Amino acid sequence: MNQTLSAYLQERAALIERNLLSALEREEVPARLYESMSYSLMAGGKRLRPVLVLAVLESLGAPIERGIPYAVSLELIHTYSLIHDDLPAMDDDDLRRGKPTNHKVYGEATAILAGDALLTRAFSSIADAYLEHPEVKPENGLRLIAELGRRCGAAGMVGGQMADMEGEGRPLSLAELEYIHCHKTGDLLVAALRGAAYLADASPTLIDALTRYGMAIGLAFQIQDDILDVEGDTAQLGKTAGSDQSRQKVTYPSLIGMEASKQKLAQLVSDAKEALRAVGLGDSILVPLADYIMERSC
């Protein structure tokens, strides 16, 4: 990753982190619940989804400050999904971002409730921020909520997680595996891009292009995760390497081989860049962000 992009990611992630805890409700929240929520929310990470929101606004010439409430809400939802994914009933992971998972520290019941609280707070936070925002049309505020509800619900991220669980220990077709990856991982990335486009009052053509970009990098992101599960190590990943194999999960490398997986990854990143070039965004920060998806090591 080049130094310019590295600095950009660090700067934008720091901006998001300065606003994360302020999004959490504190009054009348049980102390242990608040601790559990903030433990996972502030555990670090790439902050890729909120960074994408700011990158789209910047690329379309809109002020990035307009997107901070939506960007923060995406990170609340992403964090909730990680807490729940790590539970013994799902992936049963002990480590997340190099730290003990939420349920290992606070217990399963509190972890479930912390995830629930982060999810519901995300939607109320969006409504609070954009209900009377002078620069955001009311209908676009509603589009944010509708988009996010679809992308993180039963037809999106949650459905992808369900399909992932049902696929453990049995053969999967390439189409089934792509469904899992596109929904479990890709949909929230698409929600970041489309939501930012709404906030910028972008044209349908631009929204369609950003959707294609998001679908491509979403699948690419998960293929790279599959590759790193084989080639990475626990210390670098911040989670247990080889966990997919231990749970008998089908991955791109196990289904089509490592070399073909890397070729597919490169093609998806190329497709993502082409979607940007088609609408005049070929020089935007979104282009090196697509390369980052392929080149990241954790």
Cα separation of 247 and 261, whole Å?
20
Candidates 94, 23, 15; CA nearest to 51 is: 15
| Whole-number pLDDT of residue 97 | 87
pLDDT band with cut points at 50, 70 and 90 for residue 27: confident
| Whole-number pLDDT of residue 60 | 97
Statement: residue 295 has pLDDT above 70: yes
Encode 81-139 in three state secondary structure.
HHHHHCCCCCCCCCEECCEECHHHHHCHHHHHHHHHHHHHHHHHHHHHHHCCCCCCCHH
Domain 3-295 CATH class label: mainly alpha
Mean of per-residue pLDDT scores for the chain: 92
pLDDT band with cut points at 50, 70 and 90 for residue 73: very high
| Whole-number pLDDT of residue 297 | 79
Statement: residue 241 has pLDDT above 90: no
pLDDT band with cut points at 50, 70 and 90 for residue 236: low
| Whole-number pLDDT of residue 109 | 98
Residues 242-269: pLDDT tens digits? 666 656 789 999 999 999 999 999 999 9
Domain ranges of the chain: 3-295
